[in-house]
Amino acid sequence: MVAQVIDGKAFAAKVRGQVADQVAKLKEENGITPGLAVVLVGEDPASQVYVRSKGKMTVEVGMNSYEHKLDVETSEEDLLALIDKLNNDPAVHGILVQLPLPKHLNEDLVINSIDPAKDVDGFHISNVGLLGTGQKSMVPCTPLGCLMMLRDHHGSLSGLDAVVIGRSNIVGKPMAQLLLGDSCTVTIAHSRTKDLPDVVRRADIVVAAVGRPEMVPGDWIKEGATVIDVGINRIERDGKNKLVGDVDYASAAERAGAITPVPGGVGPMTIACLLANTLTACCRSNGLPEPEGLTA
Ligand code: NAD
């Protein structure tokens, strides 16, 4: 079997198009422009790239983008004061604090100081609890993007065996909750899992979120399974820098029914879902119906 390639770049462009249409409608019919505030502390090069492209795409879909770049030495008190200001600003519907934060700042404290209704990353403890209990919440962007691609490919996910490799708060755990919410039988595998190959071979859906280049070989994949590769790993091969996922793409594509490439799979969906979450937050805060197909 040669797998169907799930084109995350094209899918993300479609999602951003849907968001842009809804934003235009909100402006025209309700006079509201959704706004996303992104807070960056310090000068981590990867974070700077992410923040720049988030700002650019926010503007491209017609939303207002507010960037707050703070010095690496910023005190917790000053950061919390800024978040408090953004929590109370009616023009700001979504707040994202770019992680990781410098070591002297308490990440949990900072994230939990964001108004849960504006927490477009879905990391606030209230949103984690709401998701875990199957209630309406803000859902973390990367797993939301994976869910959208899986629903698009399968239609219903009900009854499918799903294995999520990785148990991080950002990807693995919320991914498992979302799959459970769509009635999959879910296994969360991690660094201490016994006989990982056997666990993965059971899966109709494999979501790999580990951060180890090409650690899942093709012969772990059940014939016809859907493989979602979240991993982004920079490696050097043949003297060139290359991005690869957590799955060995070439061998997995020979057995899978469908697979996301790296790059061009999950990656582009993450920012598209951030924009979708900002739109959702804006609609909810104004008592308007939520955008269809853009939430969990
Ligand atoms: P993390 O380091 O927080 O978690 C990794 C998880 O993998 C841990 O739960 C650990 O138990 C598990 N693990 C480690 N070694 C293992 C092994 N040998 N076998 C099985 N499980 C093992 O990472 P994260 O933040 O969840 O990110 C995972 C990957 O996804 C990284 O490559 C990251 O860059 C990528 N990522 C991509 C996006 C995107 O937008 N595409 C977003 C977030 C993360």
Instruction: Enumerate the domain spans of the chain.
Output: 30-118, 141-268
Report the alpha-carbon distance of residue 43 to residue 286 in Å, rounded.
35
Superfamily the domain 30-118 falls into: Leucine Dehydrogenase, chain A, domain 1 (3.40.50.10860)
- Altogether, the residues listed in the chain come to a count of 296
Query: Which of 54, 118, 173, 222 does the annotation list as catalytic?
Result: 54
Superfamily the domain 141-268 falls into: NAD(P)-binding Rossmann-like Domain (3.40.50.720)
Report the alpha-carbon distance of residue 216 to residue 198 in Å, rounded.
12
- The dihedral formed by the CA atoms of 180, 186, 188 and 194, expressed in degrees to the nearest 10: 170
Give the Å distance between the CA of 20 and the centre of ligand 1.
31
In angstroms, the Cα distances linking 12 to 145, 272, 295 are: 8, 6, 14
- pLDDT (tens digit per residue) in 246-278: 999 999 999 999 999 999 999 999 999 999 999
Report the alpha-carbon distance of residue 23 to residue 291 in Å, rounded.
10
Give the Å distance between the CA of 173 and the centre of ligand 1.
11
Query: Which of 18, 22, 119, 121 does the annotation list as catalytic?
Result: 121
Query: Which of 22, 98, 182, 248 does the annotation list as catalytic?
Result: 98
Atom 6, ligand 1: residue with shortest CA distance = 166
- pLDDT (tens digit per residue) in 101-158: 999 999 999 999 999 999 999 999 999 999 999 999 999 999 999 999 999 999 999 9
Is the overall model pTM greater than 0.85, yes or no? yes
92 in contact with ligand 1, CB cutoff 6 A:
no
57 in contact with ligand 1, CB cutoff 6 A:
no
Active site residue 121: yes
Q: Which atom of ligand 1 is nearest to the CA of 245?
A: 32
Burial 47-72 (b: 16+ CB within 10 A, else e): beebbeebbebbeebbbebbebeeee
Mutation choice for ligand 1 from 49, 193, 232, CB with most ligand atoms inside 8 A: 232
Active site residue 204: no
In angstroms, the Cα distances linking 296 to 7, 13, 39, 147 are: 20, 19, 25, 8
274 in contact with ligand 1, CB cutoff 6 A:
no
Q: Enumerate the β-bridge partners of residue 163.
A: 187, 206
**Phi and psi, residue 275, nearest 5°:** -65, -40
- pLDDT (tens digit per residue) in 17-76: 999 999 999 999 999 999 999 999 999 999 999 999 999 999 999 999 999 999 999 999
